[in-house]
Every structure is written in C-alpha cells, then in structure tokens.
C-alpha cells in the first residue's frame, strides 16, 4: 500500500455501525437457542476455575478451543466476512488460536498458579465479566437486546473470557496463547472507535489489564526466586 | 460544457419528486400540475461524447449490508429513487464488501433499468488475478459487461491497464479509468494521465478538499478525460459540519433546498467535472442528490462564497 501514512483508521471501515450491529441481530436469530449452550459453557469454565484438579486445565482449554472454533466459522467466516473481507484472515487467526488451545491447553495442559492475589482476582474478574456482564454492555449503551454479544458466540466476550483464563494460568504455554486475543482487542477497539461506538475503549482496556497482569506475574515470580538463589525462576 | 437534454416522460410521482428537489413545489402550490421541472444537467464523456447525468450514486459503506434482506431491499429502494430521479451512473468496487452483490440484487429487483451506466473497479495484486476478479464482479452485478472499469487506487496499474485496454478493444468494456481518493498519489496519478489513453479518472473533490483543482482537473480537460468525483461529502462529515447551520438565502437562487444539493452543485459546476457520486442509505436523499443536477449552477463568485462560508463553519 503506497503512502500508507495517509490512511486513517476510518479508511479501512467498510461498513456502517448499523450494519455491523445488525449482523449480530441476524446471527443471534439464526443460531437461537444455541446461545443457551454457549452461556452454560461459560458458566462451566467459571466453575472449573475454582475446582483444582489435573483435568481442570484440559477441560477449560477444550471448552475455549470449541468457542474460538465456533466463532471463527459461524461468525467471522460465515457472516462477518460478508461485509469485511479482512474477516477471512480474522477467522484464520481464531482457528489458529483454537488449534493452539488444543495443542498447548488440552495436550500440554494449562496450570493455574497465579503468583499474587490481585492477579488471581483480575483473571477471575475478567472471565466473569466476559460471561455475565459484557453481554449487557451493548443494551446499556443503547443497542438492541437482539444484538447482544455472548461468550462463545461473539468474538469480543470470547476473547475477554479467554484472556481472563490466561491471566490465571502459569507456565510458558500461556505466552503463546496471548498474542492473538490481545491483537483482537486492538482490532475490535479500532473498529468500534471508528464506528464511534460508546464502548470502544472496552477491548483495549481488557488488553491493557492483561498486559499489566502479565508483567506483574513475571515480576512476582522473579522476585522471590532471586531472593533465594540469585537467579530468576522459570516455569 | 454543460448540456441540457429533455428528461423522459414523467410520472406524477416523478414529477412531484423533481419539483421538490428543485425547490419549486413550495412556490407553485396548487399550480403544481402546470409546472415543468428543469431538465437534468448532463456532461459528455470526451472520448465518445456520450452524455451522463452530472450526479451518480456511490456505494462505499452504504451498500455493504451483507445478506440482510431488509437492508438490501432498502438499498434497492435507494436505486429505484435514483433512477426515477434521472440518475444513471452507479459506482462500486470489489473492495466494498458486499456492495456489488447489493447492486446486483437492486438491479434484479428493478428489472435491470436500461439507463444504468455501470462503473466498477479492479483492485487486486498480483494483477494476474485481475480478470478473475472482474468476472466475479460482473456476475455480482449481473450485467453482460461493465460500461467502465477503473484501476482502484492505482493498485498494480501497470499490469491492470493493459488488461482493461484489451477488454475495451475486444468490446467487453466501453471505458477505462483510474481512481484515487483523499488526495493520495496525485503525482503518480498525473503521470498516468499524461501517458495513458484513459477515458475516465476518479478523484476526491469537494468544497473543502480542492487539491484536484490545481492540476488534476485542468489536466483532465487538456487530455479529454471524463472526471468522476468521490467523497463529495467527506463520507458525511461535511454534511454533519454544516447541517446545524441554516442554508444560506442565496442557495435558493440556484434552486437548492438542502446543504447536500448546494455542496453537490459546487462540485458539478466545475467545468472539468463529469459526475459526482454521493452515497446514501436514504431513498429521499438519493432523489434529492440527483436533484442537484437540475436548475442553475453556481458561478465562480458564488462558488467562492460557498468556500468561504463552509470554511468558517
């Protein structure tokens, strides 16, 4: 793209806000009542986060992978791509994240060992917000209930819920699972911003919280290890 | 350069719409049936002298509605009002999401209006994909051939232009052009205009964005190229800027009943301009926009007055 610096974010907006949110309305109507199952999956993840066990990480990872795969196919590829040619690439990225969740989360196994209480609260808070509160944001800022965005159905709450889970996780796999959700937060935030949506700051704020929590997690693990041996511990 | 032609016979509905668009309805009151609307202003395409109404219809954002049946029906209604008001040229691009398919749907619903002047673009790299993309676009419009194909934003223009010229030579296409928007790559644009036998060029131009006045528009006149104007309202931002202010009283002197008409008349009053292509989701606005191509146009002094006014708002 020549003279790329002359392009503004609005140069890449191909559709109106009305069309964008109407897409959710039609999507919700077409897949009803699968939203109920999606919500149950979200609740199951929240419950599993509080029940330690060897199968916990693998089960949560499997549920998240199913959510990402569904959103990739049913929303991004089958519907969003009809108004945004870039959505095909977004769908591929979501499918890749699902694959990573299967390989790293189900295969390798995610471990929950938050190094600090505030990081634990941030993770639980984000995941709970994604499942229980984020769907209410649209109606609260004036959009129709029929356009509600639900965890495991729409990309934004699916991404925020996943970020909440990853904040709680420890070990190297989580660092490979974070980039795609964080990038989506930026893409979604930019889209909402150029559409002048009142909740445009939500997704970038979620990404910022995860980055802060990630930094806090690294620092928390390094500090005690240095005290004991002089070298940072590795997960 | 302006040329006035007689409009086809008018239905009562069409007559009323034209009267409203020119601001005459309020003045004539009960004598409405005796009134005659101004003929639509057309401009010749220099390479063939074919006449085009000076206001067309863009599809950027507004027609990208996916497979939403209600929204597609609404777009078809916009197109119906556009054609009924006397419009002909509709412009789209494969970059515009589902806009081409929406236009195809509208044309089908309207029974393929014979007045249509189809203007689309090729926008792909590598250029070897160009012919396949053009064929997909043609099928989405559901037209036997395009009237005009343009290289979108000069993307891979060196490779696409020979393809388009070959299509024109073989009768698969009537006109060839290039596009840019928002002032990008004007130097390259000029160079291509100087060296290629183009029928059309498409650039951004409006009361606040007048960079094209300096070189592109005079060069188009010199080289005998038709000019399509995109972003006439800065994607609606210009309308938002002026809408809260009253329409100046002198707008009535040239038959304007809205800011949109005044802003469009500013554009099509430039002698180099062939057709401005505002986009809209509103059927009444489509009719109103075409109404700007009727009645008197602003002279140089009035155009300057409008520039000064809008710059202050």
The pLDDT value recorded for residue A104 is 92
Cβ distance of A14 and B67 shorter than 8 Å: no
CA A188, CA A200: separation in Å to the nearest integer?
8
Are B205 and B217 in contact by the 8 Å Cβ rule? The answer is: yes
Q: CB under 8 Å to B143, separation ≥6 — which residues? A: B107, B112, B116, B118
User: How many Å is the Cα radius of gyration of chain B?
Assistant: 19
Per-residue pLDDT, averaged over B101-105, amounts to 97
CB B46 within 8 Å of CB B52: no
Q: What is the pLDDT of residue B36?
A: 52
ipTM of the complex: 0.83
Q: B303 is written with which tokens? A: 């155009």
Find, in chain B, the residue whose alpha carbon is nearest to that of A22: B68
Residue closest to B195 by CA, chosen among B165, B170, B167, B169: B165
Of the candidates A3, A22, A84, which has its C-beta nearest B68's C-beta?
A22
- Give the number of A-B residue pairs with CB atoms closer than 8 Å: 49
* Chain B residues with a Cβ under 8 Å from any Cβ in chain A: 61-62, 64-68, 71, 95-98, 154, 182-185, 188, 235, 281
pLDDT of residue B29: 35
Phi-psi region of A142 (alpha: psi -120 to 50; beta: other; left: phi over 0): left
* Closest CA of chain B from A85, distance in Å: 6
Residue B22 has what pLDDT?
A: 42
The pair of three-digit structure tokens given for residue B142, joined into one six-digit string: 């559901």
Higher pLDDT, B277 or B31: B277
Q: Which residues of A touch B125 (CB under 8 A)?
A: none
Residue A224 has a pLDDT of 57
Of the candidates A6, A15, A79, the beta carbon closest to that of B97 is on: A15
DSSP annotation of B124 reads -
Confidence label for A1 from pLDDT (cuts 50, 70 and 90): low
Give the best residue of A1, A14, A85 to mutate against chain B (max B CB count within 10 A).
A14
Residue in B with minimal Cα distance to A24: B68
Q: What is the pLDDT of residue A109?
A: 78
How far apart (Å, rounded) are the C-alpha atoms in residues B177 and B203? 11
CB contact under 8 Å between B68 and A2, yes or no, is: no
With the CA atoms of A28, A29, A32 and A37 taken in that order, what torsion angle do they form, in degrees rounded to the nearest 10? 10
pLDDT of A222: 72
Q: Which residue has the tokens 């691009």?
A: B93
Nearest CA in chain A to B124: A1
Give contacts of B281 with chain A, Cβ < 8 Å.
16
- Tell me the residues of A at the B interface, defined by beta carbons under 8 Å apart: 2-3, 6, 10-11, 13-16, 19, 22-23, 26, 79, 82-85
Three-class HEC string of B261-273 = HHHHHHHHCCCCC
- Within 8 A of B62 by CB-CB distance, chain A residues are 16
pLDDT in the model for residue A223: 66
Q: Do A6 and B183 touch (CB under 8 A)?
A: yes
Task: Read off the pLDDT band of A107 (50, 70, 90).
Answer: confident
Tens digit of each residue's pLDDT (9 = 90 or more) over A159-206: 999 999 999 988 888 899 999 999 999 999 999 999 999 999 999 999
C-alpha B108/C-alpha B116 separation (Å) is: 12
Nearest CA among B9, B214, B297, B157 for reference residue A2: B157
Packed helices A155-168 and A117-128: angle between N→C axes, nearest 10 degrees: 160
pLDDT (tens digit per residue) in B74-94: 999 999 999 999 999 999 999
pTM of the predicted structure, to 2 decimals: 0.85
Q: Which residues of B89-118 are buried (b: 16+ CB within 10 A; e: fewer)?
A: bbbbbbbbbbbbbbbbbbbeebeebeebbb
Q: What is the pLDDT of residues B112-153, one digit of tens each?
A: 999 999 999 999 988 899 999 999 999 999 999 999 999 999
Identify from A11, A28, A83 which residue to disrupt to test chain B contact, counting B C-beta atoms within 10 A and taking the largest count: A83
Going by C-alpha positions, the residue among B88, B96, B106 that lies closest to residue B142 is: B106
pLDDT at residue number A92: 98
Closest-CA distance, A43 to chain B, in angstroms, reads 32
Overall average pLDDT of the A75-101 stretch: 97
Question: Where in chain A are the domains?
Answer: 14-223
Give the 3-state secondary structure of residue B40: strand
- How many other C-beta atoms are found inside a 10 Å radius of the C-beta of residue A51? 9
Distance from CA of B185 to the nearest CA of A (A): 7
Q: What is the pLDDT of residue A4?
A: 59
Looking at A11-15, A208-212, B232-236, B308-312, which range is the least confident one? A11-15
CA atoms of B148 and B132, how far apart (whole Å)? 17
- Report pLDDT for B313: 85
Within 13 Å and on the Cβ side, how many CA atoms surround A82? 20
Mean pLDDT rounded to a whole number for chain B: 89
Q: Per the CB < 8 Å rule, is A19 touching B185?
A: no
Domains of chain B: 49-312 (3.20.20.100)
Nearest neighbour of A14 by CB, restricted to B61, B154, B185: B61
Collect all residues of chain A within an 8 Å Cβ-Cβ radius of residue B64: 14-16, 19, 83
Is the pLDDT reported for residue A57 higher than 60?
yes
Which residue in B61, B97, B184 is closest to A6 by CB distance?
Answer: B184
Mean pLDDT is lowest, of A102-116, B147-161, B190-204, for A102-116
Q: A175: Cβ–Cβ under 8 A, 6 or more apart, which residues?
A: none
Q: What is the mean pLDDT of residues A33-53?
A: 91
Task: Give CA–CA dist A220/A205, Å, rounded.
Answer: 22
Which helix (H) or strand (E) segment is B41 a member of? strand B41-44
Q: How far apart are CA B79 and CA B92, in angstroms?
A: 13
- Taking contacts as CB-CB distances below 8 angstroms, the residues of chain B near A6 are 182-184
């Amino acid at each position: 793209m020549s003279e790329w610096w002359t392009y503004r974010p609005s140069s890449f907006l191909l559709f109106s806000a009305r069309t964008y949110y109407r897409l959710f309305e039609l999507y919700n109507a077409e897949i009803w009542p699968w939203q109920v199952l999606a919500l149950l999956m979200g609740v199951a993840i929240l419950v599993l986060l509080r029940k330690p066990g060897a199968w916990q990480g693998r089960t949560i990872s499997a549920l998240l992978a199913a959510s990402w795969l569904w959103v990739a196919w049913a929303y991004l590829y089958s519907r969003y791509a009809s108004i945004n040619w870039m959505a095909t690439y977004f769908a591929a990225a979501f499918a890749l994240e699902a694959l990573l969740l299967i390989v790293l989360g189900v295969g390798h196994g995610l471990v929950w060992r938050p190094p600090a209480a505030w990081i634990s609260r941030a993770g639980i808070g984000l995941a709970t917000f994604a499942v229980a509160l984020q769907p209410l944001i649209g109606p609260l800022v004036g959009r129709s209930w029929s356009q509600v965005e639900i965890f495991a159905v729409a990309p934004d709450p699916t991404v925020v819920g996943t970020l909440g889970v990853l904040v709680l996780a420890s070990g190297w796999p989580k660092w490979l699972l974070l980039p795609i959700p964080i990038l989506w937060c930026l893409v979604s935030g930019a889209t909402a911003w150029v559409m002048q949506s009142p909740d445009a700051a939500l997704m970038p704020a979620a990404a910022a919280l995860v980055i802060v929590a990630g930094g806090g997690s690294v620092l928390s693990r390094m500090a005690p290890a240095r005290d004991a041996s002089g070298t940072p511990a590795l997960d | 350069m302006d040329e006035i032609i007689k409009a086809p016979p008018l239905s009562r509905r069409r007559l009323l719409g034209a009267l409203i668009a020119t601001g005459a309805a309020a003045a004539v009151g009960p004598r409405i049936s005796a009134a005659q609307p101004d003929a639509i202003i057309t401009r010749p395409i220099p390479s063939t002298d074919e006449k085009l109404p000076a206001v067309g219809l863009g599809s950027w954002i507004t027609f990208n509605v996916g497979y939403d049946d209600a929204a597609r029906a609404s777009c078809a209604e916009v197109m119906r009002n556009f054609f009924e008001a006397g419009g002909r040229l509709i412009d789209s691009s494969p970059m515009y999401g589902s806009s081409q398919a929406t236009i195809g749907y509208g044309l089908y619903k309207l029974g393929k209006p014979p007045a249509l002047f189809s203007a689309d673009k090729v926008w792909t790299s590598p250029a070897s994909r160009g012919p396949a993309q053009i064929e997909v676009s043609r099928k989405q419009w559901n037209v036997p051939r395009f009237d005009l194909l343009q290289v979108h934003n000069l993307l891979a223009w060196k490779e696409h232009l020979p393809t388009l010229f070959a299509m024109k030579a073989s009768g698969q296409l009537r006109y060839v052009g290039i596009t840019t928007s928002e002032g990008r790559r004007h130097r390259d644009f000029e160079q291509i205009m100087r060296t290629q036998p183009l029928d059309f060029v498409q650039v951004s131009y409006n009361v606040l964005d007048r960079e094209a006045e300096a070189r592109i528009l005079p060069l188009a006149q010199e080289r005998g190229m038709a000019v399509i104007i995109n972003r006439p309202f800065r994607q609606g931002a210009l309308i938002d800027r002026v809408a809260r202010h009253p329409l100046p009283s002198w707008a009535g002197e040239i038959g304007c009943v809205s800011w949109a008409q005044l802003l469009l008349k500013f554009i099509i009053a430039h002698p180099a301009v062939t057709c401005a292509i505002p986009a809209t989701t509103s059927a009444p606005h489509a009719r109103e926009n075409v109404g700007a191509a009727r009645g008197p146009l602003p002279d140089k002094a009035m155009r300057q007055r409008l520039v000064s006014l809008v710059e202050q708002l």
